[in-house]
């Protein structure tokens, strides 16, 4: 089931966007340039700006070669070839989804995010065997075609204790905070990420070659449009609508790209028939494996969806996508990152998360 047991996915929301953007950016170089850089470094002084520039170019070229090789490693199909009638049904469904999403010019929704991790919380409801989420977040998402996006988590509740009696809900406590917990903005040219813990506002430029389609590569790829060709190029997809589902279409998508597979092993999407937009999404961690008691995942529920609202309802809609000001109080600083710097930061983040996922003693 979509709301099945799971272990939390521990990666920042922006890692997927930035790693994809920067991967494509750096792929404009090649190993030949790197070799040329090695050959000419000896002709300039080691402490000169020219030498430093050539070292950086060589590093970028090596990263580009690595990125190109990774993109070529396509994952093996995780399920057999679909019968002709199922293949046709899938294509018809994706065609209609694309036609519907192409009509979306403005979009707003509220979300709830349930995070599961048996290493943090391993309590299951005795009646349903449902694993309790270790945290439940809430916030808002906004989108304006073709490439403006806004994501903000305004509150998080943390698991505190199992129910005191049968039939009662588990006890959750509101996480204390003086403001948003997560926030990022994309204005089509730059991505702005607020790091509330470090009091930093990171600004990363989107390469011109990717402006217009950057959100399609976000960690919530199915939420910002549905291009059939791109989806089938990026995922193995099949329809898994269960018996008894009413006014819903369920899809299961497995990543083909190595870069995507680093963030999730598969995604399940529920599309609502009423507006043909995702009403829920379940993202399984790369380590998800029930045999090893690893149920890591994030489940998003998208509610109060509003599409192409009238101008009277959009008074403050577009103002939210403008370049944000650095907060004046509290010691905030704006940090402008180059592609190379952000690539390294993304890799460091991924390494940190991989380390955090090392086996631990379960909390019961």
* Predicted confidence (pLDDT) per residue in 116-144, tens digit: 999 999 999 998 999 999 999 999 999 88
Contact predicate 250/242, CB 8 Å: yes
pLDDT for position 123: 94
Query: What's the rounded mean pLDDT across residues 249-256?
Result: 95
Contact predicate 119/357, CB 8 Å: no
pLDDT at 327 over 50: yes
* Residue whose C-alpha is closest to residue 6's, from 150, 152, 119, 169: 119
Task: With cut-offs at 50, 70 and 90, classify the pLDDT of residue 105.
Answer: confident
Q: pLDDT exceeding 70 applies to what percent of the chain?
A: 65
Q: Measured on CA atoms in the order 4, 6, 12, 16, is the torsion positive or negative? A: negative
Mind listing the pLDDT tens digit for each residue in 271-318? Answer: 999 999 999 999 999 999 999 989 999 999 999 999 887 654 555 666
What residue segments make up the domains of the chain, in order of their start? 15-356
Contact predicate 201/324, CB 8 Å: yes
- Say what the alpha-carbon torsion angle 290, 137, 109, 140 is, to the nearest 10 degrees: -140
pLDDT at 71 over 70: no
Task: With cut-offs at 50, 70 and 90, classify the pLDDT of residue 62.
Answer: low
pLDDT at 186 over 50: yes
Contact predicate 216/226, CB 8 Å: no
Where are the alpha helices (H) located in the chain, listed in sequence order? 15-26, 31-41, 49-72, 84-102, 228-234, 258-261, 339-356
Give dist(CA 43, CA 185) in Å, integer: 44
Task: With cut-offs at 50, 70 and 90, classify the pLDDT of residue 180.
Answer: low
Question: What CATH number is given for 15-356 in this structure?
Answer: 2.50.20.10
pLDDT for position 131: 94
Between 12 and 110, name the one with better pLDDT: 110
Question: What is the reported pTM?
Answer: 0.74
* Residue whose C-alpha is closest to residue 284's, from 219, 217, 231, 214: 219
Give dist(CA 1, CA 123) in Å, integer: 18
Q: Measured on CA atoms in the order 329, 139, 350, 160, is the torsion positive or negative? A: positive
Buried b (16+ CB within 10 A) or exposed e, 42-79: eeeeeeeeebeebeebbbbbbbbbebeeeeeeeeeeee
Mind listing the pLDDT tens digit for each residue in 22-53? Answer: 444 334 334 344 444 444 444 556 556 676 67
- What pairing do the DSSP bridges indicate for beta strands 297-307 and 248-255? unpaired
* Residue whose C-alpha is closest to residue 188's, from 144, 140, 142: 144
Residue 254's CB: how many other CB atoms inside 10 A? 20
């Amino acid at each position: 089931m979509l709301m099945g047991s799971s272990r939390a996915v521990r990666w920042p929301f922006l890692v997927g966007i930035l790693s994809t953007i920067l991967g494509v950016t750096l792929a404009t170089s090649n190993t030949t340039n790197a070799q040329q850089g090695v050959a000419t470094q000896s002709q300039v002084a080691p402490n000169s700006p020219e030498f430093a520039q050539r070292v950086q170019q060589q590093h970028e070229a090596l990263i580009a070669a690595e990125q190109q090789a990774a993109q070529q490693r396509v994952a093996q199909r995780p399920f057999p070839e679909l019968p002709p009638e199922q293949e046709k049904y899938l294509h018809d469904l994706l065609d209609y989804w694309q036609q519907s999403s192409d009509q979306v010019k403005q979009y707003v929704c509220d979300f709830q995010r349930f995070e599961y991790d048996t290493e943090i919380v391993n309590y299951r409801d005795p009646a349903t065997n449902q694993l309790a989420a270790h945290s439940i977040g809430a916030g808002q998402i906004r989108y304006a075609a073709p490439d403006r996006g806004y994501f903000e988590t305004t509150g998080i509740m943390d698991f505190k204790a199992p129910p005191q009696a049968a039939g009662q809900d588990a006890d959750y406590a509101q996480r204390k905070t003086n403001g948003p917990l997560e926030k990022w903005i994309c204005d089509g040219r730059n991505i702005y990420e607020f790091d509330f813990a470090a009091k930093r506002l990171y600004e990363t430029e989107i390469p011109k070659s990717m402006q217009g389609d950057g959100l399609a590569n976000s960690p919530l790829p199915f939420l910002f449009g549905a291009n059939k060709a791109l989806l089938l190029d990026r995922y193995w997809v099949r329809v898994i609508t269960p018996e008894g589902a009413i006014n819903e279409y369920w899809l299961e998508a497995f990543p083909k790209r190595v870069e995507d597979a680093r963030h999730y092993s598969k995604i399940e999407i529920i599309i609502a028939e009423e507006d043909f937009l995702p009403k829920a999404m379940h993202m399984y961690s790369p380590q998800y494996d029930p045999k090893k008691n690893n149920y890591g995942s994030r489940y998003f529920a998208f509610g109060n969806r509003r599409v192409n609202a009238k101008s009277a309802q959009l008074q403050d809609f577009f103002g939210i996508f403008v370049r944000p000001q650095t907060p004046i109080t509290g010691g905030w600083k704006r940090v402008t990152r180059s592609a190379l710097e952000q690539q390294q930061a993304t890799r460091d983040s991924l390494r940190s998360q991989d380390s955090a996922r090392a086996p631990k003693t379960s909390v019961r």
